Amino acid sequence: MGWSVGSGGVSADTAWLPRVGWFLSGQAVSLLGSSIVAYAIVWHVALATHDAVSFAVVAFAATVPQGLMSLVGGVWADRYSRKALVIGADVVVALVTVGLAVALLSGYESIWLITAALVLRGMSGGVQVPAVAAILPSITPREHLLRVNSVFGSVNAAVLLVVPAVAALVLVVWQMGWILLVDVVTAAIAVAILAAIKIPATPKAPESGEDGSSASPGGGDGGDGSSVSPGGGDSGDGSSVLLGPAPLAQLRETAGTVPTVSAPAAQLRETAGTVPTVSVVSADKGGGMGVAWRFVLGHPGLRRTGWLVLVMYGLIMPTASLAPIVVVQLFGDSTVLLAAVEIAYMGAFIVGGLVLAAWGGMKNRMTLMLVVTAAWAAFTVAQGVAPWALLYVVLWVPWGLVGPGLITVSTTVMQEETPPHLVGRVMGLLQLVGLLVMPVVLLAIAPVVTVVGPRVVLVVSGVAALVATAVLARGAPLLLAPQKTE
């Protein structure tokens, strides 16, 4: 198979690449179909109703149920077959979409029917995303995880860059019912690809007391002094060896991946020199999402990363998603400018992801995340004071270039530092934050923008993010990139 499990973790020659390539290809195809249909549905409702309330209801149904369901999906991803969960979620989405397509083609159209379908599709996404995020680290050598995540993020950004144009085209050419079937076809392709790939079994939580060992944030030592290597791979007998991250309004996060925790505790690195052991073994007996919360809060590096993610979704991305309002209010009704902003950001994000994949990032992941968060905050302030439309658009280029340094790296860090039997739940938490925090903040600041204007909101949010980043940078723990295993 080309895989070996040594004392330092999972290592492999290039034999791992085809499996990862096929897996990510299937997920990209699935994303393409789902995104085309999502855009088409939202635009269809807007064009058919001209009603802001209906539009808001549809937008709510498309995001919030997915975030809430991730609380359940994360737990399932750590208990049941991740491969079966991803396939099952795609099948449910396909069946729901076929049902809605038949209803629309039969002449029955209701905003509530569309909303119900979006809720079910979103709930399926809440199951699928944590499972996908947990599969990728189990089939990717730990030292290559950031590079793979970066490439996957660039591919997703490329898909999302072309989707609006494709959705607009099919809305003109086809009836809505036929458009929905695009997602059915792409889901079938993704299911067929995944079904043909061998995915390691879902790891079980280690039993405490059996060898006197406990799991630490960075992996741990077994009773015989050997390193516990939960990254994933195939043993000689074929059994699995597993011990153990939109339009600008979405500012999409790469759909996660999962870590292989194989570094000895000494490698886990805090500035203080010692890393407190987090007893995920005994804590896991409860089995719910609370275990993931306790693990993240008990791990200094992940706790600080979590705060940076909150700064991103709570202070920076909500104002970034106001780009259409900023353009319209400050520079006039220009579809060219709106398109230019989207292309500048997404195009730069694609390039940034590829650069990060080739570079591999800083040795200290925490430093990179802090630098990017501060840069985003500074760009937000600059956009708030930009006097010309061209300058505002140009500022989106560096915004996108550095984006993977926070979006992709924060996801990868969560995967690298989490024991395999907790990855699904931790990634479910990350999805929950991304899908719920930003919409709530956006809802809160929208009236403020109406009263004081977008410039004030951009500047205040940017300054607040800079202050928060400076506070988080003080005494920040180290999060070193994993070294290549021999």
Q: What are the extents of the domains in the chain?
A: 14-200+248-473
Measured distance CA(401)–CA(351) in Å, rounded: 6
Is the distance from CB of 344 to CB of 393 less than 8 angstroms? yes
Q: What is the DSSP letter of 319?
A: H
The separation between CA 433 and the C-alpha centre of its own chain, rounded to angstroms, equals: 10
- What is the rounded CA–CA span in Å between residue 332 and residue 217? 51
Q: Classify residue 10 by its DSSP letter.
A: E
Which residues, 6 or more positions from 172, have their beta carbon under 8 angstroms from its beta carbon? none
Look at residue 52 in the predicted model and tell me its pLDDT.
61
192, 64 Cβ separation under 8 angstroms:
no
Structure tokens at 8: 């330092």
Q: What angle do CA 328, 333, 334 make, to 5 degrees?
A: 105
Q: Is 175 left (phi over 0), alpha (psi -120 to 50) or beta?
A: beta
The pLDDT tens digits for 399-420 are 999 999 999 999 999 999 999 9
| Assigned token pair, 306 | 């979590």
Contact (CB, 8 A) for 396 and 341? yes
Which pLDDT does position 204 carry in this prediction? 82
Q: What is the pLDDT of residue 13?
A: 66
pLDDT for the residue numbered 484: 65
- What residues contact 476, with CB distance under 8 A and at least 6 apart? 271, 304, 366, 367, 370
Whether 395 contacts 383, CB under 8 Å: yes
- Give Rg (Cα) of the chain: 22
Q: What is the reported pLDDT for 133?
A: 92
Element housing 6 (H / E): strand 3-6
Tell me the helix, strand and coil percentages in the chain, rounded to 5. 70, 5, 25
Residues in the chain with pLDDT values less than 50: 1-12, 209-286
Phi-psi region of 79 (alpha: psi -120 to 50; beta: other; left: phi over 0): alpha
- Residue 469 to residue 461: CA distance in whole angstroms: 12
Output the six-digit token pair for 255.
Answer: 């759909």
- Buried-state track 249-279, b at ≥16 Cβ within 10 A, e below 16: bbbbbbbbbbbbbbbbbeebbbeeeebebbe
Q: Which CATH class is domain 14-200+248-473?
A: mainly alpha
Give the model's pLDDT for residue 43: 80
β partners of residue 3: 12
Helix (H) or strand (E) segment spanning residue 12: strand 9-12
Report pLDDT for 467.
Answer: 97
pLDDT in tens, 179-220: 999 999 999 999 999 999 999 998 887 765 333 333 443 333
Distance CA 54, CA 190 (A): 32
- pTM of the predicted model over 0.85: no
301 Cβ contact partners less than 8 Å away, ≥ 6 residues apart: 217, 268, 269, 270, 366, 413, 417, 477, 478, 479
CA distance 357 to 399: 18
